[in-house]
Chain A
Amino acid sequence: MNSDTVTERKKLITLVGPPNSGKTTLFNLLSGKKHKTVNYPGATIEYSVSGFLEQYGISAYLMDSPGIVSLIPVSPDEKVTIDSLYTHPDYGKPDLVIVTVDTSQFSRHLLLAKQIIDSGFNTVVVLTMNDLLEEKNFTIDETELSRSLGCNVIKFDPRKPDGVDTLINMLKHDLNAGQLKTQNRKNHTEEDVLCIYREIEELEKKVLRDLNNSSENNPHIAKANRELVIAGHGAGIKIPDSLTLKIDSVLLHKFWGIFIFILIMALMFASIFWIASPAMDLIDTGIHNFENFVNEGLGDNWFSDLLSQGIIGGLGVVLVFLPQIVILFFVLGMLEDSGYLARGAMIIDKPLSLLGLNGRSFVPMLSGFACAIPAIMAARTIQNKRERILTIFIIPLMSCSARLPVYGLLLAFLFPGKYFLSGLILALIYVVGVIISLIVAGIINRYKRTFLNFEDNSSFIMELPVYRVPKVSNVLKNTYSNAVQYLQKAGPTIVIFSLMLWLLTNFPADVKTNPDDVSNGDSVAVQLSESERISNSYAADIGKVMEPVMRPLGLDWRVGVSLIATFAAREVFVSSLALMFKVTESDENMSRSLINEMKNAKINGTGQNLFTTATAAGLIVFFMLALQCISTIAITKKETGVWRIPVLQIIIYTGSAYLLTFLTVNGLRFFGIN
């Protein structure tokens, strides 16, 4: 925007269409971007703008928009979306609108196209999913449709670049030829929509061609047959995809449906652990070797310590969990692309509605397992404000992928070598997280008048997309970019925190060794001076403040400091533990794994083990509940518009996390588990 002169306003082309009609796929093709496309209505939630790829030679902005069913808003959020379509706050009025129409649902999707054209927009209609329509043995006569609608119409499969030149030429032509008409915002009412649908039904008879008909070349016979087919009872076009119906008869079965649903969810989370463990072991070994290599190469000095223990060790710990993250995103992506998610939303709608949530809460909650931030934004697809805020409220309780390294470490500590058991426990952690979130939702819904005071209509209507074999290449691309994002987010934070922690634990450095201890022998003296240095370091100063808080949990200040570090990113917990214990529990064998360090760690001044079954279980409980992510707090404020919600979350979640961790640790100890 900045380089353009005010007089030569860069033109704007906006993509508009019903949910799941192929807007983002087309946007990606034309702009070269890699935005997420998903077989679920409501994948895109925000306007996004890009230029065209250079090769197309169109100098205009291209804007992708969230899917809308019609131009009539039914919620305040939808009103914002539709208002921005007429006049975007930053980019102004669109010079050209591309409306995508899924031809396999021709009449339903043409509603929006008609509304857009009737409102006076300069419009091009792109017909997508022609392959699906042809499977039903029908096709659309685009010339006839173009004549009836009074705008250009083109059939195009946005997944492939074939024939894109025709589309580009059409866009260029219409962008220059079409004048910016004054758009009239018709007072759309239910009657208007009914009226448009009647027009569409007439239109459908004119443009829909039956491919079965060999006499198609003879327009008269074809016409007669056409009318017969359309008028006929159960005409082919009105029957949904037959394979989809067959799959649905199993997956949406009245009884089996819910079992299959639970099974799919459970398998998804358990597989994260089972499949990933060999790869994780491999990475782990590699990193230890590298750490040793650096340590030996640089000799025994502070720089070598910092590099090997702090940076490489810290990054390594996060790298180890990359396989799990990759599998999580891959499985989620396969589910998204298959078309099952909309079914999941439908199956779970009734139970969720009893708790004040909505079937549409399902996908945001599920993506909360990857990361709470996009999940909270995805809650925009929930029209009812009360249900939306409640969904946002509980999303932080879904165990996000940043917590995987933490659980991974603690489970490996608790059940060394038992991958199968760890996988089951991990699945259990996820399930318990969900159950707690549902309990919280239920309680808040019960007292909603105190918390969320909105009265409006709760509804659930959603189109169920056609099942598709997921496109593995697409899913892999998405997984890759998510993995890169994970590393980009965690990497720098970890390096910075490792540096800070290292400095805090190593300075001030000049501390006199207590002469009384020298008599105990050399090795002990070294150890003492090391631990003494720590206990005089800046970190220990912070620690002294933390100690009274951590003690009741059976933990010490070192864990406390690591917990503070998690506010930047939860993954940092693992790397900062690694650094803390390698520095504070000094020993000559640097190759010892973090798990072994943890086993040997003692609570300051006592011989008591720091990490026991009780405290490790306690830490898992803490991470399941506590709201420790600054970005989540910020996005919650942004999406709900009030501070009240995130503040309430911090008080409730972090407070109960502390309380329950206390109960877990001391409960386990009471029963003799230590």
Chain B
Amino acid sequence: MTVADLNFGQTAVIKNIDLKHPSSCRVIEYGFTPGQELQVVNKSIFNDPLSVSLRGALIAIRKHDARCIEVIIPDEL
């Protein structure tokens, strides 16, 4: 499951970053690293891009880029 599959308001923990994805480097630089908790706080019209709360900041990210962020939902642990 990736951030792109999360629902509005859902919280998840980053499991892994797919380093084969062309955006992976940018995504890591913006602070998406394994172990970090994030929440999808808003979705733009057409459900894309997403606004994600991470490390105390809000980051807008396209679904295409969000696809390289693999997450797990804590309740499912």
Contacts and interface: CB of A to CB of B under 8 A. Distances in A.
> Do these two chains interact?
yes
Contact of A238 (B26, B37, B44, B46): B37
A72 B33 CA distance: 16
Contacts of A254: 8, 42-45, 47
A461 interface: yes
B60 to A, nearest CB: 4
Interface in A222-241: 234, 237-240
B56 A111 contact: no
A106 B45 contact: no
Given A193-B29, A238-B56, A461 B65 contact: yes
Q: Is the interface of A mostly helix, strand, loop or mixed?
A: helix
Given A245-B41, A254-B43, A457 B58 contact: no
Contacts of A459: 22-23, 26, 62, 64-65
A581 to B, nearest CB: 49
Interface in B1-52: 8, 17, 19, 22-31, 33-34, 37, 41-49, 51
B22 to A, nearest CB: 4
Interface stretch (A339-347, A407-415, A482-490): A339-347
B61 interface: yes
B56 A350 contact: no
Contacts of A197: 28, 31, 33
A249 B8 CA distance: 11
B44 A350 contact: yes
Nearest to A237: B56
Contacts of A257: 44-45
A461 B57 CA distance: 13
B62 A248 contact: no
A457 B55 contact: no
Interface in A213-271: 234, 237-240, 244-245, 248-249, 252-255, 257-258
A457 B26 CA distance: 11
B22 A457 contact: yes
Given A347-B45, A462-B60, A239 B53 contact: yes
A111 B29 CA distance: 8
B73 interface: no
A461 B41 contact: no
A347 B49 CA distance: 8
A460 B42 contact: no
A69 B55 contact: no
Contacts of A1: none
B59 interface: yes
Contacts of B53: 238-240, 245
A237 B43 CA distance: 23
Interface in A452-485: 457-464
Nearest to A104: B56
The 3 tightest CB contacts between A and B, nearest first, are A457-B22, A346-B60, A252-B42
Interface of B: 8, 17, 19, 22-31, 33-34, 37, 41-49, 51, 53-62, 64-65
Given A107-B31, A194-B33, 4 more contacts: A108-B31, A459-B23, A459-B26, A460-B49
